[in-house]
Amino acid sequence: MTPEINLTRDPAHLRHGSSIGQPLTRTDGVLKVTGKARYAADNHPPGMLYAVIATSCIARGRVKSLDVAAAKRHPGVVDVMTPAHKPELAEDPDAKGNPFAFRMELLQSDEVRYANQAIAVVIAETLEAATEGAALLSPRYQVEIARVGLDAGEPYAPPVVGIGNPAEVVHGEIDAGFAAASKLTDATYETPAQYHNAMEPHAIVAVWDGDKLFLDTPSQGMAIAQGRIGGLLGIPPGNIHINSPFLGGGFGSKGLVSGPQMLGIMAARLVGRPVNLVLRRSQMYGPVGHRASTRQRLRLGADDAGVLTVIDHHARITTSSFDDFYEPAADASHTLYASPAIRTAHEAVRVDTGTPLFMRAPGEATGSIALESAIDEMAFACGIDPLDFRLRNYAEVEPTTGKPFSSKALRQCYARGAERFGWARRPLAPRQMRDENGFLVGWGMGTATFPALMFQGNARAVIRADGSGVMESGAHDMGQGAWTALTQISADALGLDLGEITFRSGTSDLPDAGIAGGSAHTATVGAAIHNAGAAVIARLAELATPDERSPLFGAGNAGVVARQGRLHRRDDETRSESYAEILARAGLAEIDASGTGAADPAAQSHYAMHAHGAVFAEVKVDPELGQIRATRLVGAFAAGRIINPRLVQSQLFGGMIWGLSFALHEEAVMDHRSGRILNANLAEYHVPVNADVPPMDVITVDEHDPHVNALGIKGVGEIGITGSAGAVANAVWHATGIRVRRFPIRIEELVTGLS
Amino acid sequence: MMNFDYVRPANVADAIAAASEKGAVYLASGTNLLDLMKGGVSRPSRLVDVTRLPGLDRIERLDDGGLRIGALVRNADLAHDAAFARDYPAIAEALLSGASAQLRNAATVGGNLMQRTRCGYFYDAASACNRRWPGAGCDALEGENRLHAVLGWSEGCIATHPSDFCVPLVALDAVVEIEGRSGRRELPLEALHRLPGDTPDRETALEPGDLIVALRLPAEAQGFAAHARYVKVRERTSYAFAVVSAAAALRIEDGKIREARLALGGVAAKPWRAHAAEQLLAGTAPDAAVYREAARATLAEARPSGDNAFKIELAQRIVVRALTLAAAGTPARIPALPGSPFSSVAGA
Amino acid sequence: MNHSISLTINGVLREVALADPRVTLLDLLRERLDLTGTKKGCDRGQCGACTILVDGRRINSCLALALSHDGAEITTIEGVARGDQLHPVQAAFIAHDGFQCGFCTPGQIMSAIGLIEEGQAGDDPERVRECMSGNLCRCGAYSGITEAVLEAHANMTAAKQRRSA
């Protein structure tokens, strides 16, 4: 069944003019608040078995033995999948067919390359039996010394960082930049490994029917997953049907199909029955990606006027021992601040962890907290207010390329955010403010930015005989609100009211919507929907305008406008005909047309395209005990056209909370000897709880960008983290006078510094 | 988790008999035990479910002015009992600063006393841990130990006790009532938890089969109600274990501290009663200098067990803070953020 | 050994045979009784996604052994709305956008219902934030959650007053 969502009767769904821009509540809201939204692990096909992964407790070495017999003796255990007993794969999971085919552990050998790696899969009639069966395998290992941390080995220059970005970029004369400076700052910042920790653990329910495969599994990119799974199994991608109507959060960790998901498919093949495989929370710290740890040195130079003469941003990053993903941390310095000389460079160290991957604002987030801290340090060194300093170094064109921005309302973001926050009252020096209870108060800010990307996506539009519309696109809703925002775009694309259209999504059986990542999904799929709608309306017009019986006769394609289910002549709006009338006369049950959304290469070569924002944070710090609490966050963002202000506010709030978390909470703690993560849970891997989240304020600044895409959308999924993390860190400095350069800011740094 | 026998005895005597066998453990609400079993840290062969034992879920006022709290009283019910919160505000505040509302609704008084350390190496079944496996060694000693013990630790174990509840309890001379194979006995709470020494695996003074049936607070404990606070430093605002915590309770008359009670959490393998500081405070006028002296005395024997020297300084500051707040007076209502430094204001 | 327990789930008395004593209430609901609205986020009492009401109190169902709750009355997210009519807390979560991905939402809503019943937070946003801190939301919908709980509390209080007037 194709997932589709019909609108509820909530009054907020009433249409007032155009659907785009309306603060509708979520179209999937009722399903989600009633528990009826079906996530992957909620599916129970008849005869389903439970698979549980046994994971390695060593980070490097080999599995010498597994007590398969003991596991099989446990009542309810059906089979144990091991390197010696598993379905054959058509492709080596370690082969690198393309840069997005990351290596995965599918029991191809006895080698262990990180802690929490899959070393066997136990399949049983019940979850309890499979879980205990996995424990009974009692693996024995040949252990090698684990390589842990940023100093684990010789650093090397990676071939590329992020998605094909050069590892080193030099703009202008670096030496001249330093020579021209009258103030220099040189500081090194460290950020820890972080784990996505979506609330929904990775899950798959796999059902084979001959050589057809039916999957319920959360995916941010179903078509890519089909290709990867098909390649590994040697079956056509079209044989693989993925349902992913709701993701319980993704944040990048569900962008590419992961090893555990493949193991669920293999287990189902092995036993010839449907299989459910859900990762335990602790098992999410390894095979499904993470944000790599970084050590970033930032050397800045500025002249007497507080104008930057050089930005030199060097990042050391970790990656896995067996694959290549390089967190593009220093790339944050390419676009944010004007400087005649900018150098960014990366070096990598291989460690025994799972391969780091994309995590919400990959590179931008890690780079942002370091750069925004460094800018704050330089502003203070120059004796200039941090906002004033940023304005003095405002990039009118993209600094490293010289391209004009397609649009950039950052000045308005600074101004409106600062006004809302009350920034003008901020004392320049730190440790000047106390609240009525004696807590230290600090104010900090950061600039937010994220590229406005477009991938490729498709949609199919249908007008039916009754005049209603259908829009189909296999989009992915991981919480950002695709069901709702794309429904709104669909209504406008079809010239129909929201109640007259059906939006179908969330399955690979629909047109490929591309990947939900890079904050580009609404823009990409929105453009596809826009184009599909335009194409189907054009087909309607082609039916009507050559027909003498139609009031639209002779109007020509360009001469009609679609509105509320009717085509009107542009030159005479009183002459119109309904979609239903047009189809009835033509004797058609429905007509359809397809559309594609993709980047415009010409526009991209002419313009730098980014969303921007300014975040202002207030923190309070206990002057003796050092505990920190964020008390106010204000963000002003310019991100092109806003499809649904309610959802956009939520996305930006969420991003800002991630920024807060980056500065104050999140960190995977790894034992430096074993390479095991000691807080692979949600009790000690701290993500913010409700009480950590202060009153927040989001302002969206109007921005009309004719270049980014047909709808002028820039995306808001990731930008909220950038700027926010630095703003909170800078506020802690402003409260205490203590500059902590290792994140998250730990209490001991403040306890030691506050006396 | 390993399969187990599940038994639900009808009375205490049957429970003790059922739990005296090797591999048997008591199950109350299971908020800690099931967590340990799922992590492979604890693999009992029998669960003796005591949740239906009659008579253990009551809060009783005793004729001598004391209070008896049945071991099965839920944490939330105790904290929200209006009379209890009025008479023992620091205990109620400590209870509400721990875990989450859901866990407090389930967790029992007896279970809270028996909760195990949160040391990451104890929880990581692949690490060496003398608590789990006597003689295995302690991987925390040279490991990630910034939050480990600074008082009373040994080379064998540097873990801390995670309870908030136990900290004011031990300060207020709580007594534990135990039923065992040889009948009923009592133990000061201070003697229930053991320091690791050479036998870190012996975490409490309980013998096999021993069942905590009640907790008693002596009549004198109420005398501190006007000046009692619990302060807890955490790495997030709520739903986190203490880095360091302190309970302070004062009896102030005529501008003088007649009697002081002080205990620390998060610093040792047991809730840490600060007797020396209490003696030092008795008879003095409430004053920051005296508090600092009390703090120094409390931590005089402290030494870092690893990367945690800051906890010695932090513990001294939290002692000063807890005493300062207690002297200022118990707020009329438990603060919105119980135990939080950000609830420092009286009446917040 | 076979155990049999009875539970009243969303108002319906059900006899449940359990061949395995290890089953938690969460796994019983999700894997054996087809009540999958309750979610498993951590299985260790650390996230709150599995929050249900047992005898009217919110608890983490992942840390509750099913056998130990023989005779209990259980309310899950599936039992909260009356037909098409949403519970005031559910409606408020939609109105205030108190969720994004929706995975923690059943637990948040059950926790909020439990909180309002406990009567400890009232209309104080700080107390609501504290008392809702046992429910993690990785999407960061906390502002909307807090607003939703406050509004539902106000609506439910007003409705109660109307009824008693």
Q: What is the CATH number of the domain that holds C21?
A: 3.10.20.30
Q: Which strands form A61-65's sheet, in the order they lie side by side?
A: A111-112, A61-65, A140-143
Same domain, A407 and A369: yes
Burial of residue B17, with CB atoms counted within 10 A of its CB: 0-12 exposed, 13-18 middle, 19 or more buried? middle
Report the alpha-carbon distance of residue A269 to residue C107 in Å, rounded. Answer: 34
Q: Tell me the mean pLDDT in the region C24-44.
A: 98
Q: Is the pLDDT of residue A749 over 60?
A: yes
Domain assignment present for residue A185? The answer is no
pLDDT of residue A2: 56
Contact call for residues A731 and A618 (beta carbons, < 8 A): yes
pLDDT digits (tens, 9 = 90+) for A478-535: 999 999 999 999 999 999 999 999 999 999 999 999 999 999 999 999 999 999 999 9
pLDDT digits (tens, 9 = 90+) for B236-248: 999 999 999 999 9
Domain assignment present for residue A193? The answer is no
pLDDT of residue A558: 61
Q: Which of B49, B99, B100 sits opposite C68 (nearest CB)?
A: B49
Domain final position from A567, A598, A629: A598
Q: Which of B1, B234, B236 sits opposite A132 (nearest CB)?
A: B1
Same domain, C72 and C13: yes
Contact residues for C103 (Cβ-Cβ < 8 A; gap 6+): A39, A198, A199, A200, A246, A248, A249, C39, C41, C49
SS (H, E, C) B200-268: CCCCECCCCCCEEEEEEECHHHHHHCCCEEEEEECCCCCCCCCCEEEEEEEEEECCEEEEEEEEEECCC
Domain assignment present for residue A265? The answer is yes
Q: Is the pLDDT of residue A557 over 80?
A: no
pLDDT of residue B273: 98
Q: Tell me the mean pLDDT in the region B141-154.
A: 98
pLDDT digits (tens, 9 = 90+) for A138-171: 999 999 999 999 999 999 999 999 999 999 999 9
Partner C contacted by B125 (CB < 8 A): no
Same domain, C133 and C69: no
Q: Tell me the mean pLDDT in the region C17-27.
A: 97
Domain assignment present for residue A209? The answer is no
Chain B residues 55-84 within an 8 A CB cutoff of chain C: 76, 80
Partner B contacted by C122 (CB < 8 A): no
Q: Tell me the mean pLDDT in the region C5-32.
A: 97
Give the total residue count for chain B: 348
pLDDT of residue A530: 96
Q: What percent of chain A has pLDDT over 90?
A: 95
**Global pTM value:** 0.98
CATH number of the domain encompassing residue C106: 1.10.150.120
Q: What percent of chain A has pLDDT over 70?
A: 97
Partner A contacted by C159 (CB < 8 A): no
**Chain C nearest-CA residue for B49:** C68
Partner A contacted by B331 (CB < 8 A): no
pLDDT of residue C165: 78
Distance from CA of C51 to the nearest CA of A (A): 12
Same domain, C92 and C72: no
Same domain, C159 and C96: yes
pLDDT of residue A380: 98
Residues in B closer than 8 angstroms to A665, CB to CB, are 235-236
Same domain, C132 and C111: yes
Q: Which strands form B46-49's sheet, in the order they lie side by side?
A: B5-7, B46-49, B24-27
Same domain, A270 and A322: no
Same domain, C56 and C98: no
Same domain, A423 and A462: no
Domain final position from C79, C108, C124: C79
User: Do the Cβ atoms of A747 and B233 come within 8 Å?
Assistant: yes
Q: Tell me the mean pLDDT in the region B97-118.
A: 98
CATH architecture of the domain covering B224-328: 2-Layer Sandwich (3.30)
Per the prediction, chain A carries an average pLDDT of 96
Q: Is the pLDDT of residue B311 over 80?
A: yes
Domain final position from C79, C114, C132: C79
Same domain, C101 and C72: no
Q: Which of A34, A278, A688 sits opposite C90 (nearest CB)?
A: A34
Partner A contacted by C68 (CB < 8 A): no
Q: Is the pLDDT of residue B306 over 90?
A: yes
pLDDT digits (tens, 9 = 90+) for C60-98: 999 999 999 999 999 999 999 999 999 999 999 999 999
Report the alpha-carbon distance of residue B323 to residue A113 in Å, rounded. Answer: 52
Q: Tell me the mean pLDDT in the region B285-301.
A: 97
Per the structure, the count of domains in chain C is 2
Q: Which of A42, A76, A281 sits opposite C36 (nearest CB)?
A: A42
Domain assignment present for residue A163? The answer is no
pLDDT digits (tens, 9 = 90+) for B172-210: 999 999 999 999 999 999 999 999 999 999 999 999 999
Give the pair of three-digit tokens for residue A368.
């942002």
Q: What percent of chain C has pLDDT over 70?
A: 99
Q: Is the pLDDT of residue A16 over 70?
A: no
Interface-testing mutation among A624, A660, A689, A692, with chain B (most B C-beta atoms within 10 A): A624
CATH number of the domain encompassing residue A683: 3.30.365.10
Contact call for residues A49 and A273 (beta carbons, < 8 A): yes
Per the prediction, chain B carries an average pLDDT of 97
User: Do the Cβ atoms of A201 and C40 come within 8 Å?
Assistant: yes
Q: Tell me the mean pLDDT in the region C145-153.
A: 98
Distance from CA of C127 to the nearest CA of B (A): 5
Q: Is the pLDDT of residue C149 over 50?
A: yes
Q: Domain of A135?
A: 40-144+215-278
Domain final position from C79, C108, C134: C79
Q: Which of B124, B234, B239 sits opposite A676 (nearest CB)?
A: B124
Q: What residues does A63 pair with on adjacent strands?
A: A141
pLDDT of residue B173: 98
Per the structure, the count of domains in chain A is 3
pLDDT of residue A15: 33
Q: Tell me the mean pLDDT in the region B81-88.
A: 97
Same domain, C7 and C75: yes
pLDDT of residue B348: 37
User: Do the Cβ atoms of A439 and B342 come within 8 Å?
Assistant: yes
Partner A contacted by B240 (CB < 8 A): yes
pLDDT-based confidence at residue A7 (cuts at 50, 70, 90): very low
Per the prediction, chain C carries an average pLDDT of 97
Q: Tell me the mean pLDDT in the region B121-149.
A: 98
pLDDT of residue A6: 46
pLDDT-based confidence at residue B286 (cuts at 50, 70, 90): very high
Domain final position from A580, A598, A616: A598
Same domain, A415 and A305: yes
| In chain B, domain spans | 224-328
Checking ipTM against 0.95, whether it exceeds it is yes
Contact residues for A427 (Cβ-Cβ < 8 A; gap 6+): A433
Interface-testing mutation among C97, C101, C127, C135, with chain A (most A C-beta atoms within 10 A): C101
Contact residues for A296 (Cβ-Cβ < 8 A; gap 6+): A188, A189, A190, A191, A313, A314, A315, A316, A329, A330, A366, A367, A370
* Active site members of A: 718
Q: Which strands form A118-124's sheet, in the order they lie side by side?
A: A77-81, A118-124, A49-55, A275-278, A203-209, A212-216, A240-243
Contact call for residues B180 and B211 (beta carbons, < 8 A): yes
Q: Domain of C134?
A: 88-164
User: Do the Cβ atoms of A200 and C41 come within 8 Å?
Assistant: yes
Same domain, C117 and C59: no
Q: Is the pLDDT of residue A17 over 60?
A: no
pLDDT of residue A627: 97
